[in-house]
Amino acid sequence: MAERRAGAKAGLSRELVFDAALDYLDSHGLPALSMRKLGAALGVEAMTLYNYVPNKDALLDGLVDRVMEIAFSGLADPAPGDWVPWMREFAHQLRGALLAHPGVLPLAGTRPVNSPDALRMSERWLAGMRAAGVPLGRAMDIVNVIATFTIGHTLAEAGQTPGHEGSEPNLDDRAGELDPAEFPNLTEILATRAGLDFDHRFTQAIDILLAGYAALDQVA
């Protein structure tokens, strides 16, 4: 065992631990995650992981941070006076990272994002928005609204996160049960797929939200 721990530990890093935890979540879901199971997936004893993360709560917070890092690694600062395209890219990159790692969605929606790394990201975003001409309070509102909407929309889009698969049928599964006389609109939607395109819905909603905030500048 000692040889196994020492050899594995030498090749581990904090980033590798969190990436492995993301992979585990995507495959098995949040309820199945434990330090012991994560250690087994990495080929080390659970105690070895405490060299990189102090406890499970820190692991869960770090998973949200890691997805944020993945989402925004290529996001530049907003251009002066032109923050809307930057905020649009912010939303689409966050959605993409969450869809790639749906197991982290329950954490992204429920855990406070206030770790040192997350605070540094938030500070950078707010500074960029202010430099682009957005008042501080409004900048905070915009970032929070766009992030919250994106997380909620992506959770609905994913439908079921790993480890939380339910038995309730979705709308498509009930198509054969719907009487067109009683549900003419729903049966037409199922036949034509009108209004069921998540990409279009998300893009349109983000554009509407951003247009609304941008219009406040003209009113002011």
What CATH number corresponds to the domain at position 32? 1.10.10.60
In this prediction, residue 199 has a pLDDT band, given cuts at 50, 70 and 90, of: very high
The per-residue pLDDT for range 166-194, each reduced to its tens digit, is 545 566 777 778 888 888 888 888 888 88
Instruction: Give the CA angle between residues 87, 70, 148 to the nearest 5°.
Output: 45
Residue 79 is classified by DSSP as B
Both 80 and 48 in a single domain? no
Q: Compute the average pLDDT of residues 84-91.
A: 95
Q: Show Cβ contacts of residue 115 under 8 Å, excluding neighbours closer than 6 positions.
A: 61, 62, 64, 65
Closest CA to 104 of 21, 169, 166: 21
In this predicted structure, the answer to whether residue 112 has a pLDDT above a threshold of 60 is yes
Both 95 and 129 in a single domain? yes
Per the structure, how many domains does the chain have?
2
Both 80 and 49 in a single domain? no
Whether 60 is in a domain gets the answer no
Domain that holds residue 20: 1-53
Both 39 and 87 in a single domain? no
How many C-beta neighbours within 10 Å does residue 131 have?
Answer: 15
Whether 68 is in a domain gets the answer no
Q: Compute the average pLDDT of residues 56-68.
A: 90
* Cα–Cα dist 94/90, whole Å: 6
Instruction: Give the CA angle between residues 147, 166, 67 to the nearest 5°.
Output: 30
Q: Supply the CATH number for residue 109's domain.
A: 1.10.357.10
Mean pLDDT of the chain: 85
